[in-house]
Amino acid sequence: MTEKDWTPEEDEAFNEIEKKSNLGKQILQEIKPKREWIGLTDEEIKALASWWPSYDQMPALMTLARDIENSLKDKNT
C-alpha cells in the first residue's frame, strides 16, 4: 500500500497520530521556523502606557512591561 492508496480519512488519522507521538513532535519542532524574539522599545511601552494618569509611576509601568515581556519570552522559547 502506498501513500497514494490512502483515503483522506486515513491520511488525516495518520497525521494526527504523528503529531501526538514523540517522533512527530520532534519532527514538527525541527521544521518550525525559528523566530528571534523582538521586544518592545522603551518608546513603544511609553506610548502604550500614555493613558496612565500619573507619569511619576512610569518607572513601575516600565518594570511591569519588561517583566511581562520576559515571562512571555520564557514561555515561547
pLDDT for residue 67: 92
Q: How many residues does the chain have?
A: 77
pLDDT for residue 1: 47
Name the stretches of the chain with pLDDT < 70: 1-6, 18-20, 24-29, 31-34, 77
Total-model pTM: 0.46
Residue 69, CA atoms < 13 Å, CB-side half-sphere: 14
Integer Cα distance of 24 and 22 in angstroms? 5
Q: Tens digits of per-residue pLDDT, 28-43?
A: 667 666 677 788 888 8
